[in-house]
């Protein structure tokens, strides 16, 4: 169940727009320009958490802050990784009523901020997530529609609704929170699922989502809270998807309870049989349905990642 809240200082009726940035100076000017033109029923501030960037992030933010009527604040977070940047944004926003996250490589639609605040206040929600559209510079034949959610794409229709299970996840690239859930200092993003620098994977937003669901927090999907995610060309390749799933499998194997059963090198025997089955399915699809094999390839690399972690844990123990 929810943890009891500790008494806190006065909370300002405002929302902080948090951008966790690493070497995103090329993206920030357009994003900041879009943000300062947003309408909002309550005051809002822009908070840029710079996670050890080596580019011109500080200059870009400083130049915008000097000219903007909307308060823009720059904070340097020395601990490397998206989890530490997100948690720093939360800590810097404890005096605000709400916080909303948007990534540097995303652009908000016209009514994005207003939709988030109205949903948080009218629904008395703890968390609100919105629609994420994808912008691709090109699209190869193997990139089917069912792979786009792995770029963060979300579209659950034109009606808002309460989220009650994991079938409708929302992601931290477009999510807002009522800061009351963080006031007691116990709830933060899980550092075990960190992602550093230009690395991929992570999963801390999924863990946060699952925690809120399990503990009966009030989660809302709001379609008018819409953004556009700009996918760089370097991510439009098959190796990106395979590496993403291998890392996710490794983290699942490392942090979840290991499966039961007779083990060989720390890996339950049935997982070897599952591996052979997945390899067989992969090759069948590769030769018979070359446009549809990627999903099975991703399942295979996820399984290999789990096995890798379990074997490593056996060696360590």
pLDDT tens for each residue of the chain, 317 residues long: 343 344 456 899 999 999 999 999 999 999 999 999 999 999 999 999 999 999 999 999 999 999 999 999 999 999 999 999 999 999 999 999 999 999 999 999 999 999 999 999 988 899 999 999 999 988 998 888 888 988 889 999 999 999 999 999 998 889 999 999 999 989 999 888 876 655 555 678 888 999 999 999 999 999 999 999 999 888 898 888 888 888 888 877 777 766 677 788 888 888 888 899 989 888 888 888 877 788 889 889 989 988 888 887 655 44
Residue 1 lies in a domain: no
**Selection from 35, 1, 41 nearest residue 17 by Cα:** 35
pLDDT on residue 217 = 97
Could you tell me the CA-to-CA distances from 122 to 41, 98, 114, 126 in Å, in that order?
12, 13, 12, 11
Neighbour count for residue 280 (Cβ, 10 Å): 11
Task: Scan for tokens 């996840």, then name that residue.
Answer: 169
What is the number of structural domains in the chain? 2
Cα distance between residue 182 and residue 34, in whole Å: 28
CA distance 312 to 78: 30
pLDDT recorded at residue 87: 97
Do 259 and 228 fall into the same domain? no
Q: Which domain holds residue 71?
A: 12-234
* Same domain? 33 vs 155: yes
The pTM of this model reads 0.83
Q: Does 244 lie in the same domain as 203?
A: no
Q: Which residue has the tokens 């929600």?
A: 125
Residues 136 and 230 in one domain: yes
For residues 146 and 290, membership in a common domain is answered with: no
| Co-location of 216 and 311 in the same domain | no
Residue that is last in its domain, among 205, 234, 263 = 234
Whether residues 144 and 187 fall in one domain: yes
- Rounded-to-integer distance, Cα 209 and Cα 3, Å: 16
DSSP string, 74-113: EEE--S-SHHHHHHHHHHTTTTEEEEEEE-TTEEE-TTHH
Q: 5 in a domain, yes or no?
A: no
Element at 236 (helix H, strand E):
none
């Amino acid at each position: 169940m929810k943890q009891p809240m500790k008494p806190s200082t006065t909370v300002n009726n405002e929302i902080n727009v948090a951008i966790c940035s690493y070497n995103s100076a090329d993206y920030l000017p357009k994003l900041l320009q879009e943000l300062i033109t947003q309408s909002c029923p309550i005051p809002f501030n822009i908070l840029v958490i710079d996670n050890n960037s080596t580019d011109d992030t500080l200059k870009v933010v400083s130049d915008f802050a000097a000219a903007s009527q909307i308060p823009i604040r720059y904070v340097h977070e020395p601990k490397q990784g998206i989890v530490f940047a997100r948690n720093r944004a939360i800590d810097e926003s404890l005096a605000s009523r709400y916080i909303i996250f948007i990534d540097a490589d995303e652009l908000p639609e016209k009514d994005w901020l207003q939709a988030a605040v109205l949903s948080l206040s009218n629904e008395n929600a703890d968390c609100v997530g919105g629609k994420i559209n994808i912008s691709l510079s090109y699209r190869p034949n193997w990139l089917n529609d069912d792979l786009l959610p792995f770029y963060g794409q979300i579209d659950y229709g034109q009606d808002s609704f309460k989220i009650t299970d994991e079938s409708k996840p929302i992601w931290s690239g477009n999510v807002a929170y009522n800061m009351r859930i963080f006031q007691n200092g116990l709830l933060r993003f899980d550092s075990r699922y960190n992602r550093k620098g230009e690395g991929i994977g992570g999963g801390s937003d999924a863990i946060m989502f699952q925690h809120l669901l399990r503990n009966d927090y009030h989660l809302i999907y709001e379609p008018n809270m819409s953004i556009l995610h700009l996918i760089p060309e370097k991510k439009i390749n098959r190796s990106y998807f395979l590496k993403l799933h291998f890392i996710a499998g490794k983290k699942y194997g490392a942090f979840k309870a290991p499966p039961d059963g007779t083990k060989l090198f720390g890996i339950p025997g049935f997982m070897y049989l599952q591996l052979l089955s997945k390899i067989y399915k992969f090759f069948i699809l590769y030769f018979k349905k070359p446009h549809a094999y990627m999903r099975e390839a991703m399942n295979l690399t996820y399984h290999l990642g789990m096995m890798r972690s379990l074997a490593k844990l056996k060696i360590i123990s």
